[in-house]
Amino acid sequence: MRTFFCFELPESVKREIREIMSSIDSPAYVKWVSQENLHITLKFLGDVNSKEVPEIERTAKKSAGQINPFEMRIDKLSGFPNPGFPKVIWLGSNSPPGEIFRLQEDLGSRLEDLGFEKEKRDYVPHVTLGRTKDENESKIEQLGSELKSHKLGTNWTVSVDQLTLMESTLKPSGPEYDPVFRLDLGNSS
């Protein structure tokens, strides 16, 4: 099964983010993430055997127990690899909380001990909104200009109190996400 760790978003925030996505003047070559799949990405694991899940859960529980619930302000619209050339369009924070980095680092280190690969890129907490499906550089740069000039009319403060291991099943209609397990933050028992 294909899996990743994330923080789920409240339905009310997902609806508001969907409205933001609708307000971006987007060309047809942008593939938007469905509202139900919006989440804050923490760590992509890739394919795991279902027999590995109990050990992954025990490991993740240790990391989750060390971090108390926290809040994250979502107030930034940007893109990867950079805002001027967005292959991925995302929402994030101008000042992400330290807890999210500590959790990502601790979890990543523990998962490395289980044989999972260490992330090579710096972690940027974000909600993926969409991906460009066109390799035409001028079109992507034009989208980058749109993103830079787009003003977020609102922002959100999200309470983060659970860590979720999500299974991603790829279907013709797009990925379908199902929680494998949820762990409360700050619950070290």
Which one of 5, 17, 26, 39 is the catalytic residue? Answer: 39
> Hey, is 39 helix, strand or coil?
strand
Assess whether 126 carries a catalytic annotation.
Answer: yes
Spatial contact of 130 and 26, defined as CB atoms under 8 Å apart: yes
46-53 — which CB contacts under 8 Å span 24+ positions? 46/2, 46/3, 46/116, 47/1, 47/2, 47/3, 48/1, 48/3, 49/1, 50/1, 52/114, 53/165, 53/180, 53/181
Assess whether 150 carries a catalytic annotation.
Answer: no
Which one of 5, 111, 126, 140 is the catalytic residue? Answer: 126
Spatial contact of 65 and 124, defined as CB atoms under 8 Å apart: no
Task: Tell me how far CA of residue 54 lies from CA of 51, 125, 146, 181, 185, in angstroms.
Answer: 7, 26, 45, 10, 18
- CA 160, CA 99: separation in Å to the nearest integer? 10
The dihedral sign for the CA sequence 101, 104, 109, 112: negative
- Residues annotated as catalytic (active site), given as ranges: 39, 126
